[in-house]
Amino acid sequence: MGRLPEAWLAPPLVRELRELVRYRAKLVALRSGLKAQVHAVLAKEGVRVPMSDLFGVGGTRLLDQLRLAHAYALRIASLRSLITAYDQEIAMLGREISTALAGDAGYLAIQTIPGVGPVLAAVFVAEIGDVGRFAGAPPLCSWAGLTPRHRESDTTVRRGPITKQGPRLVRWAAVEAVQRLPGASKQAADLPPHRRPARHRHRPRRRRPQAADPGLPRPARRPGALPGAGAQGGDVNGSGARAARARVCHDPRPAAWSPA
């Protein structure tokens, strides 16, 4: 009767594209783990890595010139061969994804957004599918789990972090796109301070606590007296001394009266 929302099932072509994109993401994660193992072995042997990319041209030259113990050298060689095999498979999947998305209007349009390249664009197109099924940006963000959690009961309202519902790969791609924003873009300037690139990050200057105005009157203190002085027994806060002073200050007897 049109009262319940309709479920959307991705067509076969979109499901096949998702399979390729998700498999590529899985291989990239496994390759990252292998590279981390290479860094761990070098750290065991005390080898300093001066370059930012150990698996680039300079890093490959460094790995070729290393003289390590037999066990460590064998592990490094095995890891490097596995990384090479992963590189080949990831490149093959990248070509397949590019062929499947060749001429796709949404794939080309989404790459015009700053921070979104071919890899992230393929993730968005494959996971979202038909974007026309969303009425606007808010429903799309809610579907992706990027909206804050909101739970309300009567007058009690609880808000929390993002819901993280929906495909995790979409959230990863969105975060990666934001982190890759150029430092001079307007989108980077609109981000919260802790998520801005270094060029737009302005730390507030810490102000020193202002000293009290020397012209203000201060309560007189007896020489040698400390805060809380006059406490007796278990009276830690000196409440007994304060009560005695209060009785003296509020004595109803006239000032000229003196005991006999």
Q: What is the pLDDT of residues 51-95, one digit of tens each?
A: 999 999 999 999 999 999 999 999 999 999 999 999 999 999 999
Non-local (6+) Cβ contacts of 113 within 8 A are: 177
pLDDT at 183 over 70: no
Residues 6 or more apart whose CB falls under 8 angstroms from that of 138 comprise 147
Contact 44, 86 (CB under 8 A): no
| pLDDT, tens digit (0-9, with 9 covering 90-100), for 191-250 | 666 656 555 455 556 666 665 555 656 666 565 555 554 444 445 455 555 555 555 555
DSSP for residue 150: E
Residue-wise pLDDT for 96-143, tens only, equals 999 999 989 999 999 999 899 999 999 999 999 999 999 999 999 999
Distance CA 201, CA 195 (A): 8
103: tokens are 């001429």
Q: Are strands 156-162 and 148-153 parallel, antiparallel or unpaired?
A: antiparallel
Report yes or no: 137 and 127 within 8 Å, Cβ to Cβ: no
User: Count of CB atoms within 10 A of residue 87's CB?
Assistant: 13
Instruction: Give 16's pLDDT tier (boundaries 50, 70, 90).
Output: very high
Give the separation between CA 129 and CA 126, rounded to whole angstroms: 6
Pick the closest to residue 120 from 33, 180, 205 (CA basis): 180
Average pLDDT, the chain: 81
